Amino acid sequence: MLKADNTAYSILAQDFDLLVDEPLKKYTSFKIGGPADLLALPKDKHELKNLLKKASNLDIPVTLFGGGTNLLITDKGIRGLVVITRLLKSKIRIIKTDLDGKTIGVEAGERLSNVCRFAINHSLSGLEFAAGIPGTIGGAIIMNAGTKSGEISNIVDSIEILNKKTLAFETIEKKELDFSYRRLNLTGIIVAATLTLKKESLEKIEKSFNHNLSQKNATQPVAFASAGCFFKNPVEGRPAGELIEKAGLKGVRINDAMVSQSHANFIVNIDNATCDDILLLKQHIQKSVFDKYHIKLKTEVRMEGE
């Protein structure tokens, strides 16, 4: 919690009109998390840059996230400044056209669902796999969001970042990006991206998108608060959800944290679960799967806080 006599924090809060001791459960899809000492939602990349520069000068630690859809925040919350980049957005635009398709430009805070809709409206293919995936385009890129039918790294042409050390804006081309399974190895802050999409018939794009969306709604607990798939799939063998289900864990609860009945790789908050509830259930799942299969499941969800 922020102490009233902390001059540096007070200066930053006043200079940028920040929220103080703001509960973070309101900003994550899990609906879990204690307070941030200071919370900022910058509206453009220049405000973000100025904010980070001031925080650095005042020696205040900074934590960043976007849509909060792949995130678990501790019950004690996050010390220092939390910056949420979901307001970093402007009009999605076509910046290049060639014989095969178009390249679009989008800011990091734009919702992935809006980018998908833009692509459909312009008969552009490449984002059908993302049907129903929540969060922002920046978050999707940093997590290399994807499904069996594709992932975001396949269509990223370039990204614009804010270098954390120099606080300069830089463009990184696709060939320089280090993508791996559900991860982009990156130290900077994504502020914008360009995506290359291919021309296709509207009918074919909509059919594929709607099929993927129906599959997601039918097999995932979309009505409950969660952070998406909780564990990474092992490199070889059966996926995490199947391992958890075969271990007999569907429906297992610790207080209001529960292994989803519809997809075992989802831990859901069925009412008022705490971070501790989620972590206890996570440990139980990992132990049960290891005892049965000698496989240690690794988490896909990012955790922040003290």
DSSP-derived letter for residue 42 is -
Tell me which of 151, 245, 300, 304 is the catalytic residue. Answer: 300
Residue 304 known to be catalytic: no
Which amino acid would we find at residue 223?
A
Alpha helices in the chain (DSSP H): 7-16, 45-57, 112-121, 137-142, 202-219, 240-246, 275-293
**Interaxial angle between packed helices 7-16 and 45-57, expressed in degrees from 0 to 180 and rounded to the nearest 10:** 160
CB proximity list for 305: less than 8 A, separation 6 or greater = 33, 34, 73, 74, 75, 76, 77, 78, 275
Tell me which of 22, 79, 229, 275 is the catalytic residue. Answer: 229
Tokens of 13: 């809060």
Go through the chain and tell me how many residues it has: 306
Please identify which residue in the block is written with the tokens 């996050």: 78
Residue 183 known to be catalytic: no
In terms of DSSP bridges, do strands 183-185 and 101-107 run parallel, antiparallel, or are they unpaired? unpaired
CA distances from 51 to 7, 14, 48, 80, 164 (A): 16, 12, 5, 13, 12
Tell me which of 182, 183, 238, 302 is the catalytic residue. Answer: 182
Cα 293 vs. chain centroid, distance in angstroms? 29
Residue 117 known to be catalytic: no
- For the annotated catalytic residues, the residue numbers are 182, 229, 300
